[in-house]
Amino acid sequence: MLKLDFLKRLGFLALTAPLAALQSPAKAGASTQSDDALVGLWEADVRAGGTSYKYIYSIGRGAYVATGSVDENFMGFKYGPTMGTYTRAGNGSYRYRERGYVFDLKGRGVGSFSSTGTFRLSADGNTFTSPGTFTQYDASSKKTSSEPYSLTARRITA
């Protein structure tokens, strides 16, 4: 008798599952759109200490790679591409953390860097801004410098 009740319930679920899927595509679409709002190619102006740099962000779902005009020679160092992750914090904002490697001008690894902050997406989804903090470490992971920065990014592609 227990097996018969289970099979009846299973049949009922099989019949109603397509109906449930038809009733909620807008809700599913809205969720996906919000989760993917940052996906695309972006050009950013980064400002720190009175200086401005250009960066390109290639953002996928939950992760990104960025490289900039300052990476080849800044304060006697070269910087590798930034690898970052982000998670939605709500209200069009996303907490992020990124890391990369630091090299001397001859290409020898001398440390790493990390940046943390919050991306804030505009209402139209075509720009985001961010306050953040850049921190550099030596080869033994000792913090050598830290600097606040801000950026404004414009969508290049969706």
Asked if 57 and 96 sit in the same domain, the reply is yes
Asked if 51 and 123 sit in the same domain, the reply is yes
- pLDDT-derived band at 78 (thresholds 50, 70, 90) equals very high
- pLDDT-derived band at 35 (thresholds 50, 70, 90) equals low
Asked if 50 and 75 sit in the same domain, the reply is yes
With the C-alpha atoms ordered 68, 69, 74, 76, is the resulting torsion angle positive or negative? positive
Mean pLDDT computed over every residue of the chain = 83
Q: Which backbone phi and psi does 21 adopt, to 5 degrees?
A: -65, -35
Q: What is the pLDDT of residues 129-156, one digit of tens each?
A: 999 999 999 999 999 999 999 999 999 9
Asked if 25 and 47 sit in the same domain, the reply is no
Asked if 51 and 113 sit in the same domain, the reply is yes
**Is pTM, for the whole model, over 0.85?**
no
Q: Write the CATH number for 136.
A: 2.40.128.120
Asked if 57 and 17 sit in the same domain, the reply is no
Please give the residue that has the higher pLDDT: either 23 or 85. Answer: 85
Q: Can you give the residue range of the structural domain that contains 137? A: 38-157
